[in-house]
Structure 1
Amino acid sequence: MPAAMRGGSSARPTRQGTAQAAARGRAVAPAGGPSAAAILLAALAVILAALVLILATGGRGTRMAQAAGADIAQRLADAGFRLDAVRVKGASPLATGDILKAAGLYKGQPLADMDLDVIRQRIESVGWVHDVRVVRLLPDTLLIQVVERRQLAIWQSGGQRQVIDVRGAPIPEADPARFASLPLVVGAGAEKAAAAILLELSRRPPVLSQVEALVRVDQRRWDLRLRSGGLIQLPAVDEAAALRRLDELDRTSGLMRIGFERLDLRDPAVVAVRPRTGGAVAASPELSPEGASKG
């Protein structure tokens, strides 16, 4: 066979074959810069290398690693890992504005460069907040998960009114005018003792609904001032027992419905009542005219 025929067809690529090869080359060529995923993988590799460098070189390595970390954060930001949205969960609308203001975030902030511990500490300084967790949601969102302090009452002392939580701690950002439905507690020490007495009264909605203010007397006992102008004096100890006696009196004599000027429950042996002017109180073995009690 002539030498020119051996392998001749494969030795000379046709124009069609050349065009197909070129098309295949174009198909696998990169369409642009590296993807966000590629940058993230590269960043993780650099972080690992920086950690090895710190262990190997000490302080000089730490400085080098910090510079590398700033470069990584910028590369990730360039790839789209920038703050675009903040989601606040568990906070009321009134609290959310104060939380976002304290967090000090801004749109476009590099997500990888955020110090989440610092952000959490800023948010914890807000009076509304009992507990908080801050989480990055890649590529562009920060989640702020809040446990809000429950508003218990409005505390009035020294001419000032403040909203307090269940521990009696004031919530400085809360405007008392916005919480008119909360019970009012008055006097020194009232904020610390409010949770216990309000728990007892919450079990007696008909009584609680008539209470205008709970006044702390000598930081040891309560007077309940009613919307009708009446007054209920509770003892310094065993308030629950005194309120149970009030329940019984109300069932047997309709005391709360009839009304009174003053009801003294301070003595566990005697209940003293001063009727409203021109009114009368149904007879009861436990009732006696005011003055019969020992104080």
Structure 2
Amino acid sequence: MPAAVRGESRVSARPRAKASAKPGRGRPVAPPRGPQAASKLQAAGHAGLTPKQSLIAAGAVLTIAVAAVLGTGGRAEMVGQGIAGGIDRAFGALGFRLNAVHVQGASEMASRDILAATGLYKDQPILGLDLEDMRRKVMEVSWVEDARIVRLLPNTLVIAVKERLTLAVWQHAGQIYVVDQHGRVIPKADPARFASLPLVVGLGANEHAAQILPAIEARPRLKDKLLALVRVDDRRWDLRLKDGSLVQLPAVDEEAALLQLDQLDQRSRILELGFERIDLRDPNVVAVRPRDGVLPGQLVAGGA
């Protein structure tokens, strides 16, 4: 056999020695990957294994595959990319794919925004989902106060949320918003769809509404006549009634003033007498101003 010549040196080409068949020597054999592994796992599924048994079998395959990769080099990169993708596909072949998403604790409007934020799609490999990253996306939805995500194998995801409670419609500086129980604006909430919520008006009205609204709710007669709560100088409230009357509350102890108003209404129907203004700012005096200077039912001079 001719010699291989390079420069002045001569090296005879010799046939390579055959690889030893003894255990522990020679080149390690890579485990089956990709379609082969998937087909084996799928075959296990067709063999009548339960989902739990299939999960155990697939887990064993994953362990062997990771061990082989760590022994042949490539390590973190291959484990992070090739193996992860291959295992996702393998488990998907066994039925571990997203088939149902249940959103709990959210209204219909909020549920739509939550699902859109997750970016989930049908038949997505369920084991490859990053639940922490998904929770972060859900928490960015303006409706959501808190969220928890649970993976129910083989094919279901549960997104349990605590939704921000709508408290009032807030009007300020020519804009109208829906605010939650903490006075924070819910950006995606359309005020037109929350006509049943009380209307609060003015600077600071959103932040202080939660303090007075329960007292209003506890007095149905007043609530039925109420048009809006107006925050005055961010210190106190005026109650604007549907008939145009104005009830002025004090800056402190507004609960006592509302109780006084309720008692007067039960005794003398003060809210039905058509006063232009009922002033409760002084706890010792209730001052009223008739509309146009004439009390309802009172005769005008001359009988006119």
Change in CA separation of 1:250 and 1:136 when aligned onto 2, cut-off 3 Å: same
Aligned partner of 1:83 in structure 2 is 98
Aligned partner of 1:108 in structure 2 is 123
The 2-side partners of 1:252 and 1:117 are apart by 60
Aligned partner of 2:195 in structure 1 is 180
What secondary structure does 2:96 align onto?
A: coil
Q: Is the 8 A contact 1:134 1:143 kept in 2?
A: yes
Q: Shift in Å at residue 65 of structure 1?
A: 3.2
Aligned partner of 2:108 in structure 1 is 93
Aligned partner of 1:34 in structure 2 is 44
Match of 1:163 among 153, 178, 203: 178
What secondary structure does 2:291 align onto?
A: coil
Match of 1:146 among 135, 138, 161: 161
The 1-side partners of 2:93 and 2:113 are apart by 30
- Give the alignment's TM-score, normalised by structure 2: 0.76
Match of 2:288 among 268, 273, 286: 273
The 2-side partners of 1:200 and 1:250 are apart by 15
Match of 1:221 among 236, 239, 248: 236
Show CA shifts across 1:107-157 (max 9, x none): 111101100111111111111111111111211111111211111000011
Show CA shifts across 1:47-91 (max 9, x none): 56689899x99x964434324233211110122111111111111
Q: Is the 8 A contact 2:66 2:83 kept in 1?
A: no
Unaligned runs of 5+ in 2: 1-39, 46-50, 299-304
The 1-side partners of 2:68 and 2:176 are apart by 57
**2:214 is the alignment partner of 1:199:** yes
Q: Is the 8 A contact 1:89 1:144 kept in 2?
A: yes
Q: Is the 8 A contact 1:215 1:225 kept in 2?
A: yes
Aligned partner of 1:251 in structure 2 is 266
- Give the alignment's TM-score, normalised by structure 1: 0.78
Q: Shift in Å at residue 212 of structure 1?
A: 0.5
The 2-side partners of 1:228 and 1:182 are apart by 19
The 1-side partners of 2:106 and 2:58 are apart by 35
Change in CA separation of 1:241 and 1:144 when aligned onto 2, cut-off 3 Å: same
RMSD: 2.6
Work out the percentage of aligned pairs sharing the same amino acid. Answer: 51
Aligned partner of 2:10 in structure 1 is none
Q: Is the 8 A contact 1:188 1:219 kept in 2?
A: yes
Match of 1:131 among 146, 166, 171: 146
Q: Is the 8 A contact 1:53 1:65 kept in 2?
A: no
The 2-side partners of 1:99 and 1:141 are apart by 16
The 2-side partners of 1:41 and 1:256 are apart by 73
More deviation, 268-277/204-213 = 268-277
Q: Shift in Å at residue 279 of structure 1?
A: 2.0
Aligned partner of 2:276 in structure 1 is 261
What secondary structure does 1:261 align onto?
A: strand
**Correspondence 1:11-90 to 2 at 5 A:** 33-35=43-45, 37-45=52-60, 61-66=75-80, 67-90=82-105
Q: Is the 8 A contact 1:275 1:281 kept in 2?
A: no
Q: Is the 8 A contact 1:84 1:108 kept in 2?
A: yes
More deviation, 118-127/32-41 = 32-41
The 2-side partners of 1:115 and 1:281 are apart by 72
More deviation, 147-156/133-142 = 133-142
What secondary structure does 2:111 align onto?
A: helix
Unaligned runs of 5+ in 1: 1-29, 283-295
Change in CA separation of 1:178 and 1:44 when aligned onto 2, cut-off 3 Å: same
